[in-house]
């Protein structure tokens, strides 16, 4: 058995139209499917491609609370401020970022209208591992 990667991420949202706006107009996703009144799954749904990832949104009750569970999307550092401005214009709520070690990349955290947390991140896993290895004496990469 082999897992080949992530197939898709599904988010339950109260207002499909509002979240579609966030995904497509603010984050730049391509909308590829709208169920309309049909329900092949549990409820009305829409599909998007964002950075090559299939994002599905389905109509339903929003999350009751905000947590640190999140989906992170990779962006170039030069685009971080552009995304901050787009999110502010869409009246998206930001979450304060965590303390960072220099070199692990920058992040912008924001909650959507249904309490899902998204991170726009400028680093990579390799950046993070190299940074931790250089800053924590007892750190040892698992692949060595």
One-letter-per-residue 3-state SS of 33-91? EECCCCCCCCCCEEEEEECCEEEEEEECCCCCCCCCCEEEEECCHHHHHHHHHHHHHCC
Looking at the annotation, which residues are catalytic? 45
The answer to whether 57 and 11 are in contact (CB under 8 A) is yes
Q: Which helix (H) or strand (E) holds 109?
A: strand 107-111
Q: What is the dihedral of CA 22, 23, 27, 30, to 10 degrees?
A: -140
Closest C-alpha to 29, from 6, 1, 59, 52: 52
């Amino acid at each position: 058995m082999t897992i080949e990667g992530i197939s898709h991420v599904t988010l339950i949202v109260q207002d499909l139209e509002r979240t579609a706006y966030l995904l497509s107009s603010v984050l730049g996703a391509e909308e590829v499917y709208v169920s309309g009144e049909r329900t092949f799954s549990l409820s009305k749904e829409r599909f998007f491609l964002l950075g090559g990832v299939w994002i599905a949104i389905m109509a339903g009750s929003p999350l009751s609370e905000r947590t640190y569970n999140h989906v992170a999307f990779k962006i170039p550092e030069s685009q971080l401020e552009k995304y901050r401005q787009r999110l502010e214009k869409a009246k998206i709520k930001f979450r304060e970022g965590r303390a960072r070690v220099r070199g692990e990349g920058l992040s912008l955290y924001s909650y959507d209208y249904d309490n899902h947390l998204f991170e726009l991140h400028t680093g990579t896993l390799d950046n993070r591992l190299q940074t931790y290895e250089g800053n924590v004496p007892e750190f040892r990469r698992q692949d060595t």
